[in-house]
Amino acid sequence: MTIGLIFVPFVESILTAMRICRFGEGRLGVVDGTDVRDVTAALDDLPAYRYPLPAHDILVAHLATLRPRIERLATQAAPIPLGDVRLRSPVANPGKIIAAPVNYQTHLQEVRGDPQLHHGNPSHTVTIHTAGVFLKASSSIAGAGDGIAICQPERRTDHEVELACVIGREVRGVAASDALGCVAGYAIGLDITIRGSEDRSLRKSPDSYSVLGPWLVTADELGDPGALDLELWVNGALRQRSNTRHMILGVAELIALASGFYTLRPGDIIYTGTPDGVGPIVAGDTIRAAISGVGSMEVSVHGD
C-alpha cells in the first residue's frame, strides 16, 4: 500500500480492521498488514490513577474512547516492519485469566485415553459441564516476542492452542445471549501445561505459560468467533488442527458461566479450550500458531 499526502485508503482499512498490539517497551501500535504504526501518543489520553489502582486493564477499559485518536495517529505514523519489533501481550494487566478445560470432545477423548495426560486425576476426564472453569495466575501472561521459559525441564510440558477472548466491560451474571457484547477482542492463546497430578492452576501458571498474541483483533472486526480454524505447528510439524465450532461450550456460554461466579472486568482473559493433538515441547523448539481472522505468531521455547 502506498501512503501519500492523502491517507483516506488507510483510514478506511483501520476503521474496519482494528488490530491493536503492544511492542517494545510500552509502545502501542496498530497492525497494518506486515507493518505496525506507532500510536503510543494515544496513551496520553488515559486517566491518571493513584493507589489503590483499578482492578482492570485501563487501556482495554478506555479503548472505545481512545479509538478515534488511535486511528488518526495511525494515518500519520511511519510503517515499521512487524519483523523488527518485539510483540508483547496485547493486554498488559489482566485482572484474571480464566481457562476452560476439556472444551473439545476430541481433546476429552484424547485425555481419557492417555495416562500421561490425566495422571489418574478424575477431574481431568470429566466434561466441562462438570469441571467448570479454572484460574491461571495473571503473572503467567507473555507475548509472542517474549517466548516460553520451561521451568520444570525434567517434567513433560505441553502446548495447547486456544482462541482467547478479552472482556471489554464490567459484567456479572450475563446471559449467553448478551455475552458477546461484553467482548473487546480476540487473540491467539497458548495455554502451556506441565503434566502431573497437581491442581491445574499450579501446573499452568508459571511465568510465560499464558502466551497471548500476536495482537488484539477487535470484536467488530472478527465477527462470529464460533467458526474459526485454529492450527499449531512445532518445528514445522503440524500438531493441532480444528475449528472453534467444535467447542462444547462456545465463547458466549463460557462468558456466561464465568460471570456467574466472578465479576468480569476489562482486560480479563478467557482461554476457551484446546482441541486434540497436544504434545510436548522442550527448550529450542519453535511454535507457530494460527487462528483464522486473528493471524499467526511464532513463539520460541527456551530454558528458564
Chain segment 158-205, per-residue pLDDT in tens:
999 999 999 999 999 999 999 999 999 999 999 999 999 899 999 999
Burial class of 299 by CB neighbour count within 10 A (0 to 12, 13 to 18, 19+): buried
Global pTM reads: 0.91
Predicted confidence band at 106 (pLDDT cuts at 50, 70, 90)? confident
Q: Percentage of residues in the chain with pLDDT exceeding 70?
A: 89
Predicted confidence band at 9 (pLDDT cuts at 50, 70, 90)? very low
**What confidence score (pLDDT) does residue 68 get?**
95
Using alpha carbons, select from 23, 92, 27 the residue that is nearest to residue 59: 92
Domains of the chain in sequence order: 8-86 (no CATH), 97-303 (3.90.850.10)
In Å, how far from its chain's centre is CA 133?
Answer: 16
Longest dimension (CA), the chain: 65
Q: How far apart are CA 208 and CA 137, in angstroms?
A: 10
**What confidence score (pLDDT) does residue 109 get?**
75
Using alpha carbons, select from 203, 240, 207 the residue that is nearest to residue 121: 203
**What confidence score (pLDDT) does residue 13 get?**
39
Pair 228, 148: CB distance under 8 Å: no
> Which tens digit of pLDDT belongs to each residue from 64-87?
999 999 999 999 999 999 999 999
Q: How far apart are CA 216 and CA 218, in angstroms?
A: 6
Predicted confidence band at 105 (pLDDT cuts at 50, 70, 90)? confident
**Cis link prior to 115 (omega < 30° from 0)?**
no
pLDDT at position 218 over 50? yes
Predicted confidence band at 120 (pLDDT cuts at 50, 70, 90)? low
Q: Which grid coordinates are listed for 275? A: 482441541
**What confidence score (pLDDT) does residue 124 get?**
66
pLDDT at position 121 over 80? no
**What confidence score (pLDDT) does residue 16 get?**
43
What count of other Cβ atoms lies within 10 Å of the Cβ of residue 208?
Answer: 22
**What confidence score (pLDDT) does residue 6 get?**
30
Q: How far apart are CA 141 and CA 92, in angstroms?
A: 8
The label of the residue with cell 492452576 reads 201
Predicted confidence band at 304 (pLDDT cuts at 50, 70, 90)? confident
